[in-house]
Chain A
Amino acid sequence: MNTKRSNNLTLLVLFVLVSGVMVVSLPTIFPSLRNMQNMGRQLPEYGLLALANMLAMITGGIDLSVVSITSLSGVLAGLVLSSYQTIGLPTDLTIGIAIAVALCAAFLCGIFNGALVAFAGVPAIIATLGSNGLFLGVAVVLTKGAGIIGFPPAFLFFGNGNVLGIPTQFLIFVVVASLVGLLLNKTTQGFRMVMYGTNPLVSRFSGINNEMVVVKTYILSALLSGIAAIIMISGVNSVRPGYGSDYLLLSVLIAVMGGTDPAGGFGTTLGVVLAIFVLQVLQSGLVILGFSPFFRKSAFGFLLLLIVVFQFYRSRYFQLRLSSAAAREKLQV
């Protein structure tokens, strides 16, 4: 409990620190509305994928297929959208169908991943690495490798529009992140995910249907990827399989940076959201300051490692205390 809080505090301090540095070095540009909007447009794309990986990690798994799921659902939605003039359906209905198709595709991808992990017993890292290739391959075959362009203008609202000056996708992100928080803290599925991630054997002995918990987890993770797909293809008004492949490792690292325990059992939505913000501020600041993309990459890498190492030592300290308590008890039997 305390580690969770102190982790979020660390991230909050880091966020304030990084933002402060940016505001001081770029007093006019950084705090401007334009920059804020830019940041709000960029972060939901990988932010949703980071949340997806957080969910998988809480159960002790990982979802390496998040970007491929966005590609596959994006391509399927794109196929529907690009044919809006030839089908002749009303635009709104077409958009609705496209979104439904994207989410259904993601849902099926999630069932596939979940079944591999839960029933076939394939370790999540292998299962999703395999399905990563599979989903991407299907997406490439569907488009024959080319991109799809030409969506109804109304669809661009999700990735380019504003509501009261706030980018639409940022609002979507806030709503989805809140729902994820609600899921973890207030629903049976969330509670069971955490318990399963803590110790799958005890969870089985507690009458929890482990397989169902795992399958649902990968469905949820895939649905978050599906939502990211809609935002992505709307933002660039086109689909190209493989778009955003850099986001995969980023999403895994942000999830860990946000305090999620890759071994399972611990993770907070707030922590991951704070980690997303820290990274976005750093990213935008470094761009404006004119650092080369390569420097930015290495700066990210450095920061992520720093935080992960810091967290490793802290969790090890916690582990140590835990195991010494257990050892004490053992010795005293």
Chain B
Amino acid sequence: MADNVLEVKHIFKAYQGVQALRDVSLSVGRGEVHCLVGENGSGKSTLIKVIGGVVAPDRGEIVIGGRAHARLQAIEAIREGIQIIYQDLSLYPNLSVSENISLNQMIEKGVRLTTRKKMQALAAKGLEEIGETIDLDERVENLSIARKQIVAITRALTQGAKLIIMDEPTTAITRGEVEHLFSVISGLKARGISIVFVSHKLSEVFEIAESVTVLRDGNKVGDYPAAELDDAKLTFLMTGQSFTSSPYRFDETRRGEPPLLEVRGLTKTGQFTDISFSLWPGEILGIVGLVGSGRTEVALTLFGLNSRDAGTILMDGKPVDVKSPEEAAKLGIAYLPEDRLNQGLFVARAIGDNIVVTILKSLLSRLRLIDRPKRREVENRWIERLKIKTPTAAAAAFGLSGGNQQRVVLAKWLATEPRVFILDGPTVGIDISSKSNIHEIIRNLAEHGMAIVMISDEIPEVLRNCNRILVMRKGRIEREIRNVHEMTEERLFDVVTARRPEEVQ
């Protein structure tokens, strides 16, 4: 017991009647890497905040280094060596690396005067301890997210961290950077520092954690040694459901028919070069590539939101000139954008408004006025068809969960009866059960003859749902993968990140 850096015992916490945590206990040993997993709303964030002293629990106690606290203040948690690195990292973007690393501890210690030299010495020492080198005078905003994380970790260490909690550290960094982060974490572990790693990416959980605590709906499901878990088992523990998935099969004989969409030599200087592919009805074509590979830019060009310098787009074999989303919609091309909250959804507006915005013309009466009964009928039909959880179409979209919001965006485009549907990150920020539901919707659409393009960061998602995959890198199509069922996640990762260039060709 004395070995445990942190023990959380029987924590209860309710927000306005909603029980966020119910009798949750957690213990983290010295030098242990502990993973905390759970879906959205399972109570992960609340638990972290309780440990950090940001949120006071209703009941229960927190034991740090043998000392029990019923109510912990944030500053006490820090003094006890608990450091939380939130997803936004809480760095000062306009300050230098050395200032960022040293500022917090000076504030904590009440240092009022300092010199640049002292700060640099502190920062340099901290970075050296974890074997990293970053230009101390560089402004933090100019660093990549992965480098910023290193700065945040160093800052935590120089404040005497014994336990570092990282909230979703891998969501915004590349595969290679994840591995680097993991090696840093191993280094910390060797020094006896404990890590609590919050993640919902299953593969990473197995890669790094020794023990896993699963939360579901505010309850603790259990503690498990990572070695005893696998993908399916963990998914079941998190959701209470099991999901079977088989790769999507496309009837290859249909390739005899002419393609629905054909792209030839599409080029835009600085964005993408010589993009050519064809798409048949009933296909789910995956496009993978790192951020900046040009995948979204190509999609925007097909949707009329991005111009092109060369190349042709053909629908049904006829060249088309898509100059605006309006024209794209008329041609039967729909696009579900990457950024749901800023591009896809009128968050402040009613669900119904969001659904009918693309098809207003079809709702007009003979007097060219919007026909209310017709409108309600369309709204309710889509809410029912896509199982959007809401008491009424008049409820604002901001109250919905991520999965339901995404279904509203899907509904808004499906209402236009598109023939080609481009989905850019269809399940970003959506929890597992909603995710599989959205995948089901997409596969169902393809089975009924819609041509789907699925752009995604998540390799497993693409592998499971696409019958063909294009890998993009630096604005070019690097490779087309036709036999998706023979591909493994690891190999596709390598192709995407170009880690084994000899395999690419």
- Please give the residue numbers on chain A whose beta carbons come within 8 Å of chain B beta carbons, in ascending order: 1, 182, 185-188, 191-192, 194-195, 198-199, 201-209, 265, 322, 325-326, 329, 331-333
Contact = CB atoms under 8 A, between A and B. Distances in A.
B360 A188 contact: yes
A202 B44 contact: no
A297 to B, nearest CB: 36
Given A195-B349, A201-B343, A206-B358, 10 more contacts: A188-B361, A198-B349, A199-B348, A204-B325, A207-B324, A265-B349, A322-B348, A325-B398, A326-B347, A332-B44
Given A202-B346, A205-B343, A209-B324, A332 B370 contact: no
A275 B226 CA distance: 65
Interface stretch (B69-77, B265-273, B334-342): B334-342
B160 interface: no
Contacts of A205: 305, 325, 335, 337, 343-344
B1 to A, nearest CB: 32
A333 B41 CA distance: 8
A333 B40 contact: yes
B361 A199 contact: no
A191 B360 contact: yes
Contact of B399 (A206, A325, A331): A325
Given A191-B360, A207-B326, A1 B394 contact: yes
Contacts of B168: 333
Contacts of B87: 333
Contacts of A194: 349, 353
Nearest to A261: B348
A12 to B, nearest CB: 22
Contacts of A204: 305, 325
B357 interface: yes
B165 to A, nearest CB: 14
Contact of B429 (A202, A209, A333): A333
26 contacts: A185-B370, A187-B368, A191-B357, A191-B360, A191-B370, A192-B360, A194-B353, A198-B346, A201-B343, A202-B342, A202-B344, A203-B357, A205-B325, A205-B335, A205-B337, A205-B344, A206-B358, A206-B412, A207-B326, A207-B358, A207-B416, A208-B357, A209-B324, A265-B348, A332-B40, A333-B168
Contact of A329 (B349, B364, B368, B401): B401
B357 A326 contact: no
Nearest to B49: A331
B360 A202 contact: no
B369 A329 contact: no
Interface string B377-398: 0000000000000000010101
Listed residue (B44, B370, B401, B416) with the most chain A CB atoms within 10 angstroms of its CB: B370
Nearest to B353: A195
A326 B348 CA distance: 11
B157 interface: no
A170 B41 CA distance: 56
Contact of B342 (A1, A186, A201, A332): A201
B370 A186 contact: yes
Contacts of B171: 333
Nearest to A1: B394
B45 interface: yes
Nearest to B20: A332
Interface in B35-75: 40-42, 44-45
Given A188-B370, A202-B345, A325-B399, A1 B350 contact: yes
A207 B399 contact: no
Nearest to B394: A1
B328 interface: yes
Contacts of A326: 341, 347, 398
B282 interface: no
Contacts of B200: 333
A191 B329 CA distance: 18
Contacts of B349: 194-195, 198, 265
Contacts of B344: 202, 205
A187 B337 contact: no
A333 B324 CA distance: 33
B402 interface: yes
Contact of B325 (A1, A186, A206, A333): A206
Residue with the highest number of chain A CB atoms closer than 10 Å, among B350, B357, B401, B412? B357
Contact of A332 (B45, B360, B416): B45
Contacts of B335: 205
Nearest to A321: B398
- Which 10 residue pairs are nearest across A and B when measured between Cβ atoms? A186-B369, A207-B329, A207-B325, A188-B360, A332-B40, A331-B45, A205-B343, A207-B326, A206-B357, A198-B346
A294 to B, nearest CB: 41
A216 to B, nearest CB: 14
Contacts of B412: 206
A195 B344 CA distance: 12
A306 B319 CA distance: 60
A203 B329 CA distance: 13
- Of A194, A206, A325, the most chain B CB neighbours within 10 A belong to A206
B357 A195 contact: yes
Interface string B87-104: 100000000000000000
Of the candidates A194, A329, A332, the one having the most CB atoms from chain B within 10 angstroms of its own CB is A332
Contacts of A201: 342-343
A207 B304 CA distance: 9
Nearest to B87: A333
A171 B358 CA distance: 36
B84 to A, nearest CB: 12
Given A187-B369, A195-B349, A322 B325 contact: no
